[in-house]
Amino acid sequence: MTRLVLAVLVHGFIFFLAVVLLYAGLGVGLAASPVLGGALWILAALVVVGNIVWIVRRLLR
């Protein structure tokens, strides 16, 4: 049970980091550099997709 709770917390934290990256990309994109903001959005999307792949692989083994 504690492994499950730890896994949920880790994945939740990773999703939180992706939201922070998305928000930072919005701020940077609007204030300074749209290219850098877009790159941060792409990085946030990659973090989310990677986290989902990690979750699915854990469930299928």
Distance (Å) of CA 29 to CA 6, 21, 35, 36: 34, 12, 7, 6
Low-confidence stretches of the chain (pLDDT beneath 70): none
Please state the domain count of the chain: 1
Provide the pLDDT for residue 1: 78
Provide the pLDDT for residue 28: 93
What is the residue range of 24's domain?
2-60
Q: What is the DSSP letter of 26?
A: H
**SS3 state at 49:** helix
Rg (CA), the chain: 14
Provide the pLDDT for residue 32: 93
Provide the pLDDT for residue 61: 85
Tokens of 12: 């939740």
Tokens of 55: 């979750």
Q: What is the pTM of this model?
A: 0.88
